[in-house]
Structure 1
Amino acid sequence: MSLVATAPVLVPLATAALTALVSGRVRTQQAISFVGVLGFLAAAVMLVAQVSAGAPASAAFGDWVPPYGIQFQLDGLSSVLVLVTALMGLASLLFLASDADPGLRHPLLLPLVHGTLAGVAGAFSTADLFNLYVWFEGMLICALGLIALGGRRDQLDAAFKYLGLNLFGTLLLLAAVGLLYAATGHLNYSALAVAAREVDPVLLHVLLAALAVGLLLKSAAFPLYAWLPASYPTLPAPVLALFAGLLTKVGVYAVLRTLGDVFMPAGAGLFEVLGWVAAATMVAGVLGAAYHWDMRRILAFHIVSQIGYILLAVALGGVGGNAAALFYTVHHIVVKANLFLIAGMLATLAGSYDLRRIGGMAAARPALALLFAVPALSLVGIPPLSGFWAKLLVLQEAFAQGRFAWGALGLAVSVLTLYSMMKIWLEAFWKRHPDAGDADVAWQPRRVALAPAWLATCMLAAVTLAIGLAPQTLIEFARDAAATLGRR
Structure 2
Amino acid sequence: MIEHVTPPADWVIILPVVLCLMGAALLLMLRGALRVQLWVTLAVILAVLVCDALLFNRVMQSGPLGMTMGKWLPPFGISFTADVLGASFALAGAVATLCVVLYLQGDTPEAAVRDGVYPLVLLLLAGVTGAFLTGDLFNLYVWFEVMLIASFGLIVLAGHPLQLDAAVKYGILNFLATTLFLMGLGLLYGLLGTLNMADAVGAAARADAAPLTAIGALFALAFGMKAAVFPVNAWLPASYHAPPPAISALMGGLLTKVGIYALLRTLVMLLPVAREHLAPVLLALAIATAILGPLSAIAETGLRRAIGFMLIGGVGLMLLSVAGVAPEAIAGSIAYGVHAILTLTGLYLVAGLIERATGQGDTRQMRGLYAANSSLSILFFVLVLAVSGVPPFLGFWPKLLLLQGFVGATDWLAVFTVLLNALLTLIAGSRLWSHIFWRGTAEKAALSPSPMMATWTLAIVVVVLGLAPAILVEAATIAARDLLDPARYIASVGLSP
Measured against aligned partners, the alpha-carbon deviations of 1:416-455 in whole angstroms (never above 9, x if no partner) come to: 211211111111111114xxxxxxxxx4222232x22222
Which amino acid counterpart does residue 445 of structure 2 have in structure 1? R
Partner residue of 2:460?
A: 462
Match of 2:40 among 32, 35, 59: 32
- Runs of 4+ aligned structure 1 residues displaced above 6 Å come to 100-103
Which structure 1 residue ranges, 5 or more long, are not aligned? 434-442
Q: In structure 1, what is the Cα distance between the partners aligned to 2:138 and 2:108?
A: 39
Partner residue of 1:160?
A: 168
State the secondary structure of the residue aligned to 1:484.
Answer: helix
TM-score by length of 1: 0.95
Distance 1:230 1:153, change over 3 A: same
Residue 319 of structure 1 and its aligned partner are, at CA, apart by 2.0
Q: In structure 1, what is the Cα distance between the partners aligned to 2:39 and 2:458?
A: 22
Which amino acid counterpart does residue 321 of structure 2 have in structure 1? A
Match of 1:173 among 167, 176, 181: 181
State the secondary structure of the residue aligned to 2:81.
Answer: strand
Q: In structure 1, what is the Cα distance between the partners aligned to 2:210 and 2:197?
A: 20
Work out the number of aligned pairs and report it: 478
Measured against aligned partners, the alpha-carbon deviations of 1:391-425 in whole angstroms (never above 9, x if no partner) come to: 12112322221221222122222222112111111
Q: Which moved more, 1:97-106 or 1:330-339?
A: 97-106
Partner residue of 1:320?
A: 328
TM-score by length of 2: 0.93
Partner residue of 1:482?
A: 480
Q: Which moved more, 1:235-244 or 1:46-55?
A: 46-55
Q: In structure 1, what is the Cα distance between the partners aligned to 2:362 and 2:29?
A: 38
State the secondary structure of the residue aligned to 1:233.
Answer: coil
Q: In structure 2, what is the Cα distance between the partners aligned to 1:425 and 1:453?
A: 20
The question of 1:132 aligning with 2:140 is answered yes
Q: In structure 1, what is the Cα distance between the partners aligned to 2:190 and 2:114?
A: 44
Q: In structure 2, what is the Cα distance between the partners aligned to 1:141 and 1:85?
A: 18
Q: How much identity, in percent, do the aligned residues show?
A: 38
Measured against aligned partners, the alpha-carbon deviations of 1:115-171 in whole angstroms (never above 9, x if no partner) come to: 000000000010011111110111011111111111111111111111111122111
Residue 266 of structure 1 and its aligned partner are, at CA, apart by 4.5
Measured against aligned partners, the alpha-carbon deviations of 1:286-317 in whole angstroms (never above 9, x if no partner) come to: 12211111111000111111100111122221
Partner residue of 2:229?
A: 221
Give RMSD over aligned pairs. 1.6
Q: In structure 2, what is the Cα distance between the partners aligned to 1:154 and 1:366?
A: 31
* Contact 1:272-1:315 at 8 Å conserved across structures: yes
Q: In structure 1, what is the Cα distance between the partners aligned to 2:89 and 2:413?
A: 30
Q: Which moved more, 1:392-401 or 1:174-183?
A: 392-401
Q: Which moved more, 1:467-476 or 1:420-429?
A: 467-476
Match of 1:11 among 14, 19, 23: 19
Residue 105 of structure 1 and its aligned partner are, at CA, apart by 4.2
Which amino acid counterpart does residue 113 of structure 1 have in structure 2? V
* Contact 1:184-1:195 at 8 Å conserved across structures: yes
Which amino acid counterpart does residue 460 of structure 1 have in structure 2? L
Q: In structure 2, what is the Cα distance between the partners aligned to 1:462 and 1:343?
A: 17
Residue 271 of structure 1 and its aligned partner are, at CA, apart by 2.4
Measured against aligned partners, the alpha-carbon deviations of 1:68-127 in whole angstroms (never above 9, x if no partner) come to: 100000001101111011101101001111238999444311111110000000000100
* Contact 1:101-1:344 at 8 Å conserved across structures: no
Which structure 2 residue ranges, 5 or more long, are not aligned? 1-5, 487-497
Partner residue of 1:331?
A: 339
Q: In structure 2, what is the Cα distance between the partners aligned to 1:181 and 1:55?
A: 28
* Contact 1:315-1:321 at 8 Å conserved across structures: no
Residue 342 of structure 1 and its aligned partner are, at CA, apart by 0.6
Q: In structure 1, what is the Cα distance between the partners aligned to 2:471 and 2:96?
A: 20
